[in-house]
């Protein structure tokens, strides 16, 4: 399993509330149509956690998106699809900046039942 993690910042002309409404109500349904996406998670930020012993990285983000795929090839094929193009085109309407990473999880403490 592989996933893409994106740190999203809204367009400057949008309020956080406008960004969130578009992300949830318009953008999220488009993700359902993208072939090969195994899981899509929107992480809505409640607050920033700071630690007094470690300096913070200054980055302003409005949300964190996670898209899960079986493997790299499935991600490549998904991103080449017309459905992904529609998703990315919609993202350009409300996302001002994005920083994306492709990651592989290493589970240290698994979910308990």
Which run of H or of E encompasses 99?
A: strand 95-103
Do 30 and 97 form a contact (C-beta atoms < 8 A)?
no
Strand order through the sheet with 95-103: 39-44, 63-69, 2-10, 95-103
How confident is residue 49, by pLDDT bands cut at 50, 70 and 90?
confident
Task: Flag the least confident range among 19-23, 45-49, 71-75, 100-104.
Answer: 45-49
How confident is residue 17, by pLDDT bands cut at 50, 70 and 90?
very high
Q: Which domains does the chain have, with CATH numbers?
A: 2-49+58-103 (3.30.70.100)
Please give the pLDDT value at position 59: 85
Kindly give, in sequence order, each residue whose CB lies less than 8 Å from that of residue 107, ignoring residues fewer than 6 positions away: none
**Token pair belonging to 102:** 């492709």
How confident is residue 42, by pLDDT bands cut at 50, 70 and 90?
very high
* CA–CA separation, 93 and 60 (whole Å): 18
pTM for this predicted structure: 0.89
80-90: pLDDT as tens digits: 999 999 999 99
Nearest to 12 by CA among 67, 62, 79: 62
């Amino acid at each position: 399993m592989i996933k893409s993690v994106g740190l999203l910042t809204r367009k400057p002309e949008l309020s956080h509330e406008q960004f969130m409404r578009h992300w949830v109500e318009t953008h999220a349904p488009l993700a359902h149509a993208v072939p090969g996406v195994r899981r899509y998670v929107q992480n809505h930020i409640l607050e920033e956690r700071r630690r007094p012993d470690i300096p913070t990285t200054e980055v302003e983000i409005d949300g964190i998106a996670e898209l899960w795929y079986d493997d790299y090839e499935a991600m490549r094929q998904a991103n080449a699809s017309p459905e992904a193009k529609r998703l990315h085109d919609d993202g350009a309407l409300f996302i001002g900046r994005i920083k994306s990473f492709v990651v592989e999880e290493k589970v240290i403490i698994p979910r308990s039942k």
